[in-house]
Structure 1
């Protein structure tokens, strides 16, 4: 072995390298044992209704805890390494930064949208936390956790966070001017969340877009249109527009007209209208509060029957089925009463050449008498 290598690979150094590798191997084995036995034991102990919050904590810190064993094993192995004595302070800072990052990872998992913490807070304080507010709070909490973690790591490496904050204060005005659209979108999102004009899955119509709400972020809201397209609208735009939420209808309106021929006897027409009203009142899918069936207009070539009522369901497919059933019953009732539908048409009167016009004959007689 060359002389310059012999000074490194002495017997003591080889023993220390062996100890370092053994330490790393032990912690890798502990990681396996933790995953297979200890974690499963904790999960079984906390898999009860009364300990649901502890179960969520265990699940959130599962992967960070596994990587903690790797980080700790590497740190201890490096400390026993004979070649990195001078780098121990830097390695210690890196190790502490990794611990902060792992804690940040676990807390971010704990504050996920699907986390039990939001359900627990909602149940405990009786908050109306819907599918929009929960993701928004989740992203806000994650942002705070990550910002604090970055701040702690920066201070670990002797970075002056206070000076950075002071620098932000000096550049705050320029930043605000440059990011005014982003800020307005952020506050627009807050308005949408607090006023709750819609939630995830609602069918919404505005002057900008019509579609189903898929997601809301700090900057924008995403909609899925009837054609399947994904439309992203800035929150500041939505907060300034009139929003129609069709999903929150309590009932769905049906209105139409039927044209009845003038050849229909008036008695048959009256009986038909009465039967149609009775049919709608007795229909299980129709709301009984507002039912209108009226003969409302004399048109050019037909009587006009006006219908206006509401279905109890707001689901479009169910509404169509009810409407179809009512249409069939209308045909049956009008057919039973001998009522004929009127069709669009015009009446054309054709005169023969030998036929005289009564008005013209009278006019000729008056002229002769005057003469």
Structure 2
């Protein structure tokens, strides 16, 4: 209708029965929208027999229930108005574009909810690729997806009302190119951060060693990684450089190695030395702090001034302080065994040899030699 008289004339022609039916349709969809949603998700869950899948379906229903309820209400409004109004009115008020815009907005709302950091979809992705709680990938994906959803939703709604989205797409392309050229290093660091997060060579709290730094990882962002050194200094390394470097993660050790040779006196008694070796090995195998997998205690070396007992074992703990404590306790126990067996440790000493010179009487030559601990 183009004028007020035509509008009033059309109102007079409306049947109150038709108005009642139209509002009844709207009320029916509004009242039973919650039941419709529950029924729809119940039918979807019925096809899945596993309990875990059913629980996941309940989570999806809790997340998407409100957008789906409003979708049913919108359908009821569409059907009621189409029943009530003549086709000319529908065209005049733009009922079809309005309905499609509402559907697009509700779909965008649902996708916006699904792209939340704590959503079912992203939590499932995190479990599938085995990301830990310290990972920054899920928050980053959540922000990017939400921005994309908002832009696409606005663009599609605009297209429904005659606005061209070609300029928006072209502008986004040019803008992306300009950003890529201006922030090349930043994008390199972001890509490096994604590589670090996906490959997971380390996580927050790990003790790592790189060619440029050693310490405990304090924070991981998409631009850089912060490492707290043992001198309590904070080093910030760009992810692009860090991703290209060899990284040793000491925290990933399942156990920590101890490997040394114990030097004892050269004149040690053979039987006592054999007993000491057996007792040291028994001490290691009986201690709870020592991993029983690989324990080697052997008399292996004859040195110039000492005998060598090779000792090789692993501590269960990889924590630096606990490792040192276990090693200290073992060293004290080794000393006790040597003391009880009467075996002395090798130590630096001077020996003086007196020898009569050939063809002389009473003249002596003095030769000095040094004996060192192995």
1:25 and 1:231 map into 2 onto residues whose CA distance is 63
Q: Does 1:161 align with 2:162?
A: no
Q: Secondary structure at the match of 2:312?
A: strand
What is the Cα deviation at residue 237 of structure 1? 3.3
Q: What is the match of residue 266 of structure 1?
A: 268
What is the Cα deviation at residue 245 of structure 1? 0.9
Unpaired stretches in structure 1, ≥5 consecutive residues:
1-6, 123-128, 345-361, 363-371
The 1:68/1:229 distance shift into structure 2, 3 A limit, reads farther
Q: Does 1:187 align with 2:209?
A: no
Q: What is the match of residue 216 of structure 2?
A: 211
The structure 2 residue matched to 1:248, chosen from 252, 257, 265, is 252
Query: Aligned-pair RMSD on alpha carbons?
Result: 5.6
Number of residue pairs the alignment of both structures matches: 319
1:107 and 1:336 map into 2 onto residues whose CA distance is 71
Contact 1:294–1:307 under 8 Å retained in 2: yes
2:120 and 2:20 map into 1 onto residues whose CA distance is 39
Q: Secondary structure at the match of 2:269?
A: helix
2:223 and 2:243 map into 1 onto residues whose CA distance is 12
Question: 1:1-371 alignment to 2 at 5 Å?
Answer: 29-33=31-35, 38=39, 41=42, 45=46, 48-49=49-50, 52-53=52-53, 56-70=56-70, 72-73=72-73, 86=93, 88=95, 91-92=98-99, 94-105=101-112, 107-108=114-115, 109-112=119-122, 114-115=123-124, 129-131=129-131, 136=137, 140=141, 143=144, 147=148, 150-158=151-159, 159-192=163-196, 196-198=200-202, 202-206=206-210, 207-208=212-213, 210-212=215-217, 218-221=222-225, 233-255=237-259, 266-267=268-269, 270-271=273-274, 274-275=277-278, 278-279=281-282, 282=285, 285-288=291-294, 291=297, 308-311=311-314, 313-316=316-319, 319=323, 322-323=326-327, 326-327=330-331, 329-339=333-343
What is the Cα deviation at residue 230 of structure 1? 9.6
What is the Cα deviation at residue 253 of structure 1? 1.6
TM-score (norm 2): 0.58
Contact 1:281–1:291 under 8 Å retained in 2: no
TM-score (norm 1): 0.58
Contact 2:201–2:249 under 8 Å retained in 1: yes
The 1:38/1:171 distance shift into structure 2, 3 A limit, reads closer
1:31 and 1:224 map into 2 onto residues whose CA distance is 55
The 1:31/1:254 distance shift into structure 2, 3 A limit, reads farther
The 1:202/1:26 distance shift into structure 2, 3 A limit, reads farther
Any idea what the Cα deviations from partners look like across 1:70-89, whole Å, max 9, x if unmatched?
A: 3553685598699x984756
The 1:60/1:219 distance shift into structure 2, 3 A limit, reads farther
What is the Cα deviation at residue 59 of structure 1? 2.2
What is the Cα deviation at residue 254 of structure 1? 2.0
Contact 2:258–2:313 under 8 Å retained in 1: yes
Contact 2:67–2:107 under 8 Å retained in 1: no
